[in-house]
Amino acid sequence: MKPAEAKKPVFSAKWWMTKKPDGLKTPELEKALAAYEKAVKNLAAEKKFDDSILGRLNELSRAAIAVQKAATKLKNAVDKKTNPEVHQCMEQYLKLSTDIAKDAKQCEQQAAAAAKLDSLQDAVKDKSFQAFCKKERKAEEVEFVSAMLAKRMKGDQKDYEKFIADKARLKVNISSKLKKSFDVIAGNNEPPAKKWANAPWKEAAKEAGADLKETLAKFKKQAGKDPVTKLVKSLP
């Protein structure tokens, strides 16, 4: 093994077996590197960014830890003076596998956190989902559904002007038929308490909620896909 190769070892059992000194037996490292290669291949081939991706990330994390342990043992077993390249190679394997295990675990935690958001009641409180909705131009729906679920709304003229009216500050996306019903109520001359008593707020929340559920499904998929894609590109 050349010094330059020791500085940038390949995470491959075949590569290691052709580069290691003759007579040096390293079954644990070879097994760990083979498992790592398999884990990377499985992760890169995974097309479902749902709960199934968590198993692939866990597989990669465990494989990296196995390389880490095997490299540590070999590093401590070989003499640095007589085998400087092997010693340096193990240091690099140790450093890189530690980083990989850490990144895989972090990626797994991100995907797991998104996967747990099964209900809108939990989702609308999640900062990552809120930020995603803002990018998707669904922040208004988050605010409206959140207010409805938490029963913070009075369902009066102020709420109409905030969420439904043409110039509403947080105008939600509801059907034109439902919007018209609100406009008719807002325009009549009955006492406020009476005219807003039967306003279709629940129907509006149902429509906005259905829209948000689609956004949540997209968010959960994206929350798994983006970190995994980035991780796969960074792997040695």
Query: Is the per-residue pLDDT at 223 higher than 80?
Result: no
Q: What is the pLDDT of residue 49?
A: 67
Q: What pLDDT shows up at residue 53?
A: 84
Query: Residue 46: left if φ>0, alpha if ψ -120 to 50, beta else—which one?
Result: beta
Q: At residue 92, does pLDDT exceed 90? A: yes
* pLDDT tens sequence across 119-166: 899 999 999 899 999 999 999 999 999 999 999 999 999 999 999 999
The answer to whether the Cα torsion of 150, 155, 161, 164 is positive or negative is positive
Residue with tokens 């590093």: 75
Structure-token pair, residue 65? 């830890």
Write down the pTM of the prediction: 0.71
What is residue 52's predicted lDDT score, i.e. its pLDDT?
Answer: 75
pLDDT at residue 33, rounded to an integer: 97
Q: Over the stretch 45-88, which tens digit does the pLDDT of each residue have?
A: 987 766 678 889 999 999 999 999 999 999 999 999 999 999 99
d(CA 213, CA 225) in angstroms, rounded, equals 18
pLDDT-based confidence at 226, cuts 50/70/90?
confident
Convert 83-122 to b/e letters by CB count within 10 Å (16 or more is b): bebbbbbbbbbbebbbebbebbbebbebbbebbebeebee
Confidence (pLDDT) at 222: 82
pLDDT tens track for 172-219 = 999 999 999 999 999 988 898 899 998 999 999 999 999 999 999 888
Residues 173, 174, 176, 181, CA torsion sign: negative
User: For residue 228, what pLDDT is reported?
Assistant: 86
